[in-house]
Structure 1
Amino acid sequence: MPRLLDVLRWKLQVLFAWKPTRAQLLPLILGIYALAGWGAYANKSSANKELATQVGLLQTERNGLVGRQKELEQANIDLVRVWQGKLASAREELGQAVAARDAAKGQLAGSQRELTASKKRFDQARDRVSETGSIKPAEPSKKAASKP
């Protein structure tokens, strides 16, 4: 064992005692730079692979979101169509209601004219009764004559 320690001590002394020349130093420095460059390249390549993986995941997620957006747009279009149909039917019902209202207004106006005419005949009949004191036979109304 002591012999092994002596050998190691001697190799360390030789290593630290070495004084390289310029011709020996240049390839050593270039070799160190070459190893450092290849190490940096390997590190960058590894980082690029991770980035490529992340880009792939993001593209997949984006494609999913684009698909979801298209589904939502289609659902929105369907809802707009449904609401347009409901709006059209509501407008049609409103038109029918307005027409019915107008018809009812027309009937009301006619009924009011008939009521006014009836009141006028009633007032005339009452005036005749109060003048003569007796009831005269009523004149045949136009409605009674037209309903056979």
Structure 2
Amino acid sequence: MAKYENADSSAQCEAEMFLFNEFRKELQLDNLSYNAIVTLDSEVTIKPDVYSGDHKIIGEIHSHLGKLKPAQKHKVAADILKMLLNDKVKGKEFKKYIIVCSEEEQKQLLNEKSHLGFTRKKFGIEVRYYPLTPELKEKLKNTMKKQDMYGKGNENG
């Protein structure tokens, strides 16, 4: 894994918490858990960003701006697999969400002509978009630049 001298994930964590709270407000659920450790069997656990066993809700939050790069698409695929595994092991169908702060990512995930968009739709995974505050968006943008998350030193990859 690459190390980034100026990388600071505090803006990403702050953005995730903001998105979690926006999602929780929309659903009007106070007992929604953030980063809960969910036991699947005696040796396997998962840690979804959003979880409620009582309300059968599971979700992942993506605090990323701009279009998804290949590695980020793999992360989305792994998140989808994690949510589907939860359903299979629990023997119950949970309502599944991917929560984003980027309109570009939202468009990619809603595009049913891509394998990720098609998979998302076939498994009933909803995409929720919440815009960040201007201040938080700027902090996240600066963090992503320091981590070179845009690729090759520019915002568009």
TM over 0.5: no
User: Would you tell me which structure has more strand in proportion to its own residues?
Assistant: 2
Higher relative contact order (CA 8 A, sep 6+): 2
Q: Which has the larger radius of gyration?
A: 1
TM range (shorter): under 0.3
TM-score normalised by length of structure 2: 0.19
Higher helix share: 1
